[in-house]
Structure 1
Amino acid sequence: MKSKFSFVLGSYVKCRLKQMAAFVLFGIIFTIVYALYHLPLEPIAYSIELVAVLGLILGCMDFYGFYGRHQRLVLLSDSIATNSHQLPYPKNLLEQDYQNLIIGLADKQADLIFNFDNKRTEMLDYYTLWAHQIKTPISAMGLLLQTEAGSSQQTKGYQQELFKIEQYVEMVLQYLRLESMSADLILKEYDLLDAVRQAVKKYSMIFINKKITLDLEEMECQVITDEKWLVFVLEQIISNALKYTHQGKITIYMDAKKPKTLIIEDTGVGIRGEDIQRIFDRGFTGYNGRMDKKSTGIGLYLCKQVLNKLSHAITVTSILGAGTKVSIDLSAREFEAL
């Protein structure tokens, strides 16, 4: 506090330096004139003392006003003032000009924000509509493939690729809904095993086609969460595990040491150590993503954001060439989205 006051006092002295210098200069001139005419210096000294005391009193009053104006501007610094009533009353024409400039810039910024928000809302509405409409031809294509005679390997391949398209569309929808997620939450106690089974069932075709073994252990765990969003997170993690596991198995179980902590572990290619800290960054694909050339860098980012809003935590450990272990702490905390 003392250093802050000293800084304000120093700034005030700099602002009033010319006036102080002028006062000292006038005193020197009067003293020289009196000395040249051999007049007694006692009257001039007495006058200078009186003026100095008066100047000190006026200076203190002026500094008090200066400090008050500074404090008011500091309080307004968090939100730009949009009208002159919020700013200190200008003392001169230049201050009035500066305030007019500030108000003009604030109005311009408000217009830009308003226009940006309108355009962004229109864009979100458009992409949301597109994502919903594209589901119709995807579903139709799925039905057509199901009615194809036989179960050839080619048909299975088509179904798998169509399934991936559907998942990417679903990811787009969840990405668009993320900011307004709080309006879409239904928080209550759910059975964790049921949520896991929903996510696993969705990817059953990929498990079969890639011949990946699933080891799902029995669990009795009730968690307070939003089932739809939690299942979405589990789907993304299982999808990643399947994408980077070419042989072996995916194991899903509860951590024996940490309560309400779900583990999804695979025997895939693993993640490089230098990539671990950034895998939840938006758009980050890492070494595996660059090699795969199909990674979007959005899935794990969405998982992290959703779990943060649900007040759950996610951590990832991995050994390159041996596999990856994802831990989801589903303990109840204060919900960020509320």
Structure 2
Amino acid sequence: MKWIKQIYACFNDYKLWFLILIATNFLFIFLAWLAYPETFVILVGLMIVFMLTMISLSIFIIIRKQVKIDEAFEDFLLEPNDTNEERLCQVSPETHLTYIRRLGNVIRSYQSKLNDQVIELTDYESYIEGWVHEVKKPLSLMTLILDNRIDEMSPLVRRRMLHVRDQMLGDVEKILYFARLGAAHKDYNFESISLLAFCKETIKNNQTLLDESGFYIHFTGEEMEVLSDRKGLTFMLEQIVANSTKYITQNNGSPMLKFETNYDNAADEIILNISDNGPGIAEEDLPFIFDKGFTGRRGAYTREATGMGLFLVKKMAYDLAIHLDVKSELGSGLTISLIFPNVKE
């Protein structure tokens, strides 16, 4: 099949020359019929054999040369140095040499710029990773003081300090997960998770954030088992909860978060709905809330909006094979649905 494609491509590329050769051969056949009618059959046979031989030989030579060009071109693309460029020029037609040399100069120029950017990015990542580990030291010291100096501060001050500490820890975790999502190798460990119990555990670990915001938490639905990565799913839930706490409104009474599990029989999927009673999102902003840096109209409610939390949620959901769906209207809160495939053992 490969040879057939190569022969067809050769005919298609050089069809004009082959047509000229065939037309010339037919001209000589006609002249042979006029000049030598008694030996016409023998001459026609010889001419046809000669024509087929020349066509076959030409195709063989063209295909063989094209294979060499393809090999040299592939090496040139993988490593566009002077040696590979010269090798490609040696096997290519003379008319192509100018284009090959221009292409080599352009590729090497872009490759040099790319190498410089890779070095800068590596230095930046190293700096960020070092900064993250350094900033954990004062946070650990803050935790130590808060745990050992309870009697020296009022409950309100301690609650506020715990809230600030947890916010800082959340920002640090966000940076670390952003770096992890861009890594080539990711240490995900998929295991069976009881969904509602897992949500309750996540809420318990973020209780100071919710207490400071005055949220009421409600769980409903049946307990269901999903297969996912525990750390990644925790990060997703924490970002969704943090997103809800940034947009608190008193228009609908006390702030509320609702966790609800459902099972879709038709699609054979497990659904976790996370709803709040915040200000909601405008219909024109809804398709873009998972875009990087997007804050929309709701960003005007708070200076804390960065547009990164839900963007990271979307990236993590892709890695964990979780489908996201969102529903909202202005003034009626926001519902984010995590749709898990029902993986059977």
Give yes or no for TM over 0.5: yes
Tell whether the 8 Å contact from 1:268 to 1:323 is kept in structure 2 after alignment: yes
Q: Which residue of 2 aligns with 1:248?
A: 255
Tell whether the 8 Å contact from 2:72 to 2:84 is kept in structure 1 after alignment: no
Tell whether the 8 Å contact from 2:273 to 2:335 is kept in structure 1 after alignment: yes
How many residues align structurally? 310
Tell whether the 8 Å contact from 1:198 to 1:231 is kept in structure 2 after alignment: no
User: Cα deviations across residues 307-327 of structure 1 (Å, max 9, x unaligned)?
Assistant: 101111111110110111111
- Find 1:287's aligned residue among 274, 293, 297: 297
User: Cα deviations across residues 65-99 of structure 1 (Å, max 9, x unaligned)?
Assistant: 88998896699689935363884754555533433
Q: Which residue of 2 aligns with 1:263?
A: 273
User: What is the alpha-carbon root mean square deviation over aligned residues?
Assistant: 4.4
| SS of alignment partner, residue 262 of structure 1 | strand
Return closer, same or farther for 1:227/1:106 CA change in 2, 3 Å cut-off. Answer: same
Equivalent position amino acid for 1:133 in 2: E
1:178 counterpart = 2:181: yes
| SS of alignment partner, residue 84 of structure 2 | coil
| SS of alignment partner, residue 171 of structure 1 | helix
Shift of 1:332: 5.1
- Find 1:314's aligned residue among 314, 319, 324: 324
Partners of 2:264 and 2:61 lie apart in 1 by: 63
1:125-140 maps to which residues of 2 (within 5 A)?
125-140=126-141
Tell whether the 8 Å contact from 1:311 to 1:332 is kept in structure 2 after alignment: no
Tell whether the 8 Å contact from 1:84 to 1:99 is kept in structure 2 after alignment: no
User: Cα deviations across residues 230-269 of structure 1 (Å, max 9, x unaligned)?
Assistant: 0000111111122223333111010254641111011111
Equivalent position amino acid for 1:238 in 2: V
Tell whether the 8 Å contact from 2:276 to 2:335 is kept in structure 1 after alignment: yes
Which has the higher mean CA deviation after the structures are superposed, 80-89 or 173-182? 80-89
Q: Which residue of 1 aligns with 2:36?
A: none
Q: Which residue of 2 aligns with 1:326?
A: 336
| SS of alignment partner, residue 336 of structure 2 | strand
Shift of 1:60: 11
Partners of 1:219 and 1:79 lie apart in 2 by: 60
Partners of 1:124 and 1:327 lie apart in 2 by: 32
User: Cα deviations across residues 113-167 of structure 1 (Å, max 9, x unaligned)?
Assistant: 3343233222212201211210111232244345242223x44334323322221
Shift of 1:330: 1.5
Partners of 1:328 and 1:123 lie apart in 2 by: 33
1:80 counterpart = 2:64: no
Shift of 1:223: 1.3
Q: Which residue of 1 aligns with 2:309?
A: 299
Partners of 1:159 and 1:237 lie apart in 2 by: 20
Runs of 5+ consecutive residues of structure 1 not aligned to the other structure: 1-6, 21-53, 334-338
Return closer, same or farther for 1:114/1:216 CA change in 2, 3 Å cut-off. Answer: same
| SS of alignment partner, residue 255 of structure 1 | strand
1:81-160 maps to which residues of 2 (within 5 A)?
81-82=78-79, 84=84, 87=88, 89-91=90-92, 93=94, 95-146=96-147, 147=149, 148-152=152-156, 154-160=157-163
Partners of 2:193 and 2:284 lie apart in 1 by: 36
Q: Which residue of 1 aligns with 2:236?
A: 233
Partners of 2:155 and 2:120 lie apart in 1 by: 47
Partners of 1:277 and 1:77 lie apart in 2 by: 42
1:199 counterpart = 2:202: yes
Return closer, same or farther for 1:87/1:139 CA change in 2, 3 Å cut-off. Answer: same
Partners of 1:133 and 1:328 lie apart in 2 by: 34
Partners of 1:228 and 1:167 lie apart in 2 by: 13
User: Cα deviations across residues 97-117 of structure 1 (Å, max 9, x unaligned)?
Assistant: 433343344344444433432
User: Cα deviations across residues 186-213 of structure 1 (Å, max 9, x unaligned)?
Assistant: 1222222332123211321232222221
TM-score where L is the length of structure 2: 0.71
Shift of 1:225: 1.0
TM-score where L is the length of structure 1: 0.72
